[in-house]
Chain A
Amino acid sequence: QKEVEQNSGPLSVPEGAIASLNCTYSDRVSQSFFWYRQYSGKSPELIMSIYSNGDKEDGRFTAQLNKASQYVSLLIRDSQPSDSATYLCAVTWRAGSYQLTFGKGTKLSVIP
């Protein structure tokens, strides 16, 4: 059973701080990794994708992938109250059904 694990939170950070969100996955035959943001009452929105080991930066967001340790993380610099949402990690497996499997998400609260 391929699984994606996230700490449910809530994770509270002060405005302007760095928020660090972590995700681990169960199987090494993973291919693609994604971070989605979901505001309350809204649908998930893709914010980052990463495919190879290392860091990928996009504005205030940095995704980090370590395939050997089977984890992927998302850093949000200069956190804003508008970043308050649930962040979902998702993984596509490289074998079998290739379905995109989601973690249950980490709720982030940025305190003004």
Chain B
Amino acid sequence: KAGVTQTPRYLIKTRGQQVTLSCSPISGHRSVSWYQQTPGQGLQFLFEYFSETQRNKGNFPGRFSGRQFSNSRSEMNVSTLELGDSALYLCASSPAPSKEGYGYTFGSGTRLTVV
């Protein structure tokens, strides 16, 4: 059974650019969540999608956005990149929304470096 697939694995972008990250969940999983991980802040919640609807949103600026498609694949977009956006972005999938109490399976992440 294939795991959570994130592409690309590595990205280098320049300040002011925008970036789109992709996540394909485990087959049958309909919930996708995104996290930002940095050494200082740990795992910070970005948003959660279920059935193409954003269920929750973390405390990030509006430059961070996402969406989910009918096949449960998800993308997140960061516009007007800042140096502080450099981080590991992790996608996690689950059979149901987080309120149902299922654990998440994480992808390998996308390492974004903003220069």
Q: Which residues of A contact B (CB under 8 A)?
A: 31-32, 34, 42-46, 49, 51, 88, 92, 94, 97-105
Closest chain A residue, CB of each to CB of B6:
A43
Interface residues on B, range: 20 to 34
- Interface residue stretch chosen among B13-21, B60-68, B69-77, B105-113: B105-113
Q: By the criterion CB–CB under 8 Å, are B103 and A49 in contact? A: yes
- Closest Cβ of chain A to B91, distance in Å, is 9
Closest chain A residue, CB of each to CB of B57:
A97
Given contacts A34-B103, A43-B106, A51-B101, contact A102 B43 (CB under 8 A): yes
Give the contacting residue for A43; candidates B33, B97, B108; CB below 8 A: B108
Give the contacting residue for A97; candidates B56, B101, B104, B106; CB below 8 A: B56
Q: Is B84's CB within 8 Å of the partner chain A?
A: no
Type the 1/0 row for B84-110, where 1 means its CB is closer than 8 Å to any CB of A: 000000100000011101011111110
